Amino acid sequence: MSQGVLSPSGPAASGARACPRLARLTLHEFRNYPALTLDLPQEAPIVVLTGANGAGKTNLLEAISLLSPGRGLRQARLPELLRTGGEGPWRVAARLVSDAGERELGTGLQAESERRQVRIDRRNAQPAELAAVVAVLWLTPQMDRLFLESAGGRRRFLDRLAFLLDPEHARRVAGYERVLRERGRLLADAPASPADSAWLAALESQAAELGVAIAAGRLTAVEQLNTALAQAAEPDFPAALLAVEGTVEGWLASMPALAAEARLAEALALARPKDAATGGSLVGPHRSDLVVSDRRRAVPAARCSTGEQKALLLAIVLAEARLVAGLRGLPPLLLLDEVSAHLDQGRRAALCQRLLAHGGQVWLTGTEPALFDALKGRACALAIANGRARLEEWAV
Amino acid sequence: MFGTEIERLIQLLSRLPGLGPRSGRRAALALLKRKETLLLPLLEQLGRVAESIRSCRICGNLDSAETCAICRDPARENHSLCVVEDVADLWAIERSGAFKGRYHVLGGTLSALDGVGPDELSIGQLVARVKAGGVEEVILALNATVDGQTTAHYLSERLQGLGIGVSRLAHGVPIGGELDYLDDGTLATALKARRPAAG
Ligand SMILES: Nc1ncnc2c1ncn2[C@@H]1O[C@H](COP(=O)(O)OP(=O)(O)OP(=O)(O)O)[C@@H](O)[C@H]1O
Ligand SMILES: [Mg+2]
Ligand SMILES: [Zn+2]
C-alpha cells in the first residue's frame, strides 16, 4: 500500500547536474505517516514542502536526516519515531541517484532492539557507513536560539560540521565521551588503589589522544569554513566569522599535537580529586565553545538581531555545503526547515539564488508557497496534508 | 501453531548469534525433518562438547584437553605472545595463518561502566606468564574499540619494566571494527605492521 505516489516526469533534463539526490523516498509507520512513497522529478534539485502546521513537513525532513549516522534532526529516541498506534517497526528507505549510479539506503528500528538497522544496497551495514554514501546537513527552527543558549548546542553544531568534513570525527567524539564516562564511574566507585590508578591513566591517555584529535578536527573545520565564508561574501548576506574557544584548541595554537596530548593527560591526572567530587571533568574539548560573529560589522552573533542570526547560520551552512562538495566530492542533501521565517524579502531572494547554485539537493519547508516565489518554475513543490503528498501546480 | 516442545526449541535456537525467530523456525524444522542425519548426530556432539570442552589453563583457549592444542604444539614459538580479548579473536588470527607464537585470552576488556575491572580479566595470569620467562615480545591484538584500546594502554603499563617488547596491532580498522570481522589478509597485514606500544 502506498499513498501519495507521484509519477516521475520523464527522463532527466539534458545537462542536469549529477549531484547525489533522492529520487525516491519511502516512509513506513514513521511519525504521522502510515505509508508514503515519493517519486521525485529528476530535473528539480530543489524540493519545497508546504502545508499547514502539523501536516508533517518537519517529520519528512527528519526521515531524510536519518539517512545519516546519529539520531536525526530532532535528536529523537528511536522508539519515538514509530507512528502512534502504528504497527512497528518504522522504516525509511530511499533511492539515491548520482553520477556514480544508484544507491539504495534504508533504516529502521529492529524489533526488540535498541539499535537501528541500516541497509546499504540491500545488505546490513553500520550506521557510520552511511557517511561515506551521503552527507546530510540541516537547519531547524530549534537552532534559531543557538547563539543565545548554552555552549553545548554550539559544540554539537560545530562537531557536526567537522564530521561532515571528516567522518572520523564522529567516532572520536563518541569514543571520547565514553572514555570520560568510564573515568567518571571509576572515580566515583573506588578510592584510588594502585591498580585503579593505572586504569585511570589508561583512560586518561585515551582521552588525551581522542580529545586532541577532536580539537584539531574542529580547528581545521573552522579554518576551512572561514576561508569559504570569506570567498562567498555577498552584500545581501552577512559574512560569518568562526572561532573555537577552548583550552585544548588553545594549546594546539602553540604546541605540536603530541605535546598537547601529554599536557591533557597530565591535566586530567591532576584533576582527579576535583573531578571525583564534582562527578564531571574540568578540562578537555567537551568544554569548548564555538564563537561566531558578523565579520563585516565585528558584532558577536548573540548581539545580532533574530533575522541576522538566522542569516549567519544560513551562511555557515551554505559554506559547509560548498566545502563538503569541494573536498569530498559529495554535495550534501540540505534540509532547511522553515528557513524563510525571520528573513526579509531581500535575504529571501538572496537565499533562493544561493540554493539554485548549490550543487546538491535542497529540501525546504514553509506554511505558504508564497514564501518561495523566487523559486517558481525551478523547484518541485509538494503540498503535504494528512500523511500524503501532492505535486503542486507551480512545479517544474 | 507449534506444540510447546517445538516452541521451546525455536526459542533456544533463536538465541544463537546471527539467528532470529525466523531463522530459528527454519533451523528447528530442518532438525525435525532430518532426525537421523542431523538431529541425533547434533545431540550427540553437543553432549560430547558440553562434557569435555574447557578453558585452557594456560591461555584461556577452548579445547577438550586441559592444555589446548596450541599450547601443546612444540612447533610454536615461545618468545612471542599474542594477547586477545576473546577466543573468537584467537580463531580469527589462527585463520589468517600469520602468527606462529602463543596466545593469551583476556576474557574481555576493561569497562568501569560494565563493571569489568582488572580482576575480572586474566591479567594476573598474563603478568605471571611473562615473569616466568621465555617471552620476548607481547603483541596486544585488541579491538579498535574504546574499551579495547583502554585495555591495551593499561596492559602496556602493567607489562612495563619486565624486560620485554610490547607492540600493538597497526590496524586501519574500520569504525568499531572487531578482529573477528576482518578478512584474513587485513589481519595478516595488521600483524606484520605492528608497532611498539607507547605505554
Ligand atoms: N510518533 C508519532 N506518531 C504519530 N504522529 C506523530 C508522531 N510524532 C509526531 N507526530 C505528529 O506529526 C504531526 C506533524 O508534525 P510535523 O512536526 O512534521 O509538522 P509540520 O508540518 O512541520 O508543522 P509546523 O508547520 O507546525 O512545523 C504533528 O501533529 C505531530 O503531533
Ligand atoms: Mg515543522
Ligand atoms: Zn592454551
Would you list the DSSP string of A63-127? Answer: HHHTTSSSSTTTT--GGGGBPTT--S--EEEEEEEETTEEEEEEEEEPTT-SSEEEEETTEEE-G
Which pLDDT belongs to residue A114?
74
Pairwise CA distance, residues A333 & A21, whole Å: 7
When pLDDT is cut at 50, 70 and 90, the band that residue A285 belongs to is: very high
Q: Burial level of B107, CB count in 10 A (0-12/13-18/19+)?
A: middle
- Which phi and psi (to 5°) does residue A50 adopt? -120, 160
Query: What does pLDDT average to over chain A?
Result: 89
Query: What does pLDDT average to over chain B?
Result: 89
H helical segments located in chain B: 4-14, 21-33, 40-52, 69-72, 87-96, 123-131, 146-158, 184-192
Contact B111 A198 (CB under 8 A): no
Contact B112 A185 (CB under 8 A): yes
| pLDDT 10s digits, B121-154 | 999 999 999 999 999 999 999 988 889 999 999 9
Q: Which residue has the cell 586504569?
A: A199
Cell of B177: 571494527
Which pLDDT belongs to residue A283?
93
Whose Cα sits closest to atom 26 in ligand 1? A53
When pLDDT is cut at 50, 70 and 90, the band that residue A35 belongs to is: very high
User: How many of the other CB atoms lie within 10 Å of CB of A298?
Assistant: 8
When pLDDT is cut at 50, 70 and 90, the band that residue A54 belongs to is: very high
Cell of B187: 589481519
Contact B153 A206 (CB under 8 A): yes
When pLDDT is cut at 50, 70 and 90, the band that residue A9 belongs to is: very low
Contact B176 A128 (CB under 8 A): yes
Q: Which of A145, A99, A137 is nearest to A306 (CA)?
A: A145
Contact B150 A202 (CB under 8 A): yes
pLDDT of A5 over the 60 cut: no
Asked whether the domain spanning B55-168 has the same topology as the one spanning B4-52, the reply is no
Q: Which residue has the cell 540491500?
A: A122
Which is more confidently placed, A101 or A66?
A66
A5, A56 Cβ separation under 8 angstroms: no
| pLDDT 10s digits, A200-247 | 999 999 999 999 999 999 999 999 999 999 987 666 778 899 999 999
- Ligand 1 lining (C-beta closer than 6 Å): A 31-32, 51, 53-59, 80, 82-84, 367
Q: Which of A38, A35, A8 is nearest to A25 (CA)?
A: A38
- pTM here is 0.86
B105, B161 Cβ separation under 8 angstroms: no
- From the list A129, A179, A185, which residue is nearest B150 (CB)? A179
Cell of A5: 505516489
The Cα-based distances of B26 to A194, B14, B23, B30 in angstroms read 53, 10, 5, 6
Q: Which residues of chain B neighbour A175 with C-beta distances below 8 Å?
A: 146
| pLDDT 10s digits, B40-87 | 999 999 999 999 999 999 999 999 999 999 999 999 999 999 999 999
Whose Cα sits closest to atom 29 in ligand 1? A54
Q: For B111, which DSSP code? A: B
When pLDDT is cut at 50, 70 and 90, the band that residue A314 belongs to is: very high
Strand ordering across the sheet containing A21-30: A33-39, A21-30, A91-98, A101-109, A116-120, A123-125
Contact with chain B for residue A117, Cβ under 8 A: no
- Say which CATH class B4-52 falls into: mainly alpha
**For A126, nearest residue in chain B (alpha carbons):** B175
pLDDT of A12 over the 50 cut: no
User: How much is the average pLDDT of A185-199?
Assistant: 78
Largest CA distance in chain B: 65
Which pLDDT belongs to residue A10?
35
Q: Is the dihedral of CA A260, A262, A265, A269 positive or negative?
A: negative
Ligand index nearest the alpha carbon of residue A368:
1
Domain range list for chain B: 4-52, 55-168
pLDDT of A379 over the 70 cut: yes
Q: Per mean pLDDT, which range of A17-21, A94-98, A102-106, A302-306 is the poorest?
A: A17-21
| pLDDT 10s digits, A357-371 | 887 899 999 988 888
Q: Which of B146, B111, B151, B120 is nearest to A182 (CA)?
A: B111
What is the percent of chain A with per-residue pLDDT over 70, rounded to a whole number?
92
pLDDT of B174 over the 60 cut: no
Contact with chain A for residue B153, Cβ under 8 A: yes
Pairwise CA distance, residues A322 & A332, whole Å: 9
Pairwise CA distance, residues A135 & A321, whole Å: 9
User: How many of the other CB atoms lie within 10 Å of CB of A201?
Assistant: 17
**Is the interface score ipTM higher than 0.85?**
no
**For B157, nearest residue in chain A (alpha carbons):** A198
Contact with chain A for residue B158, Cβ under 8 A: yes
Which is more confidently placed, B195 or B149?
B149
Contact with chain B for residue A206, Cβ under 8 A: yes
CATH architecture of B55-168: 3-Layer(aba) Sandwich (3.40)
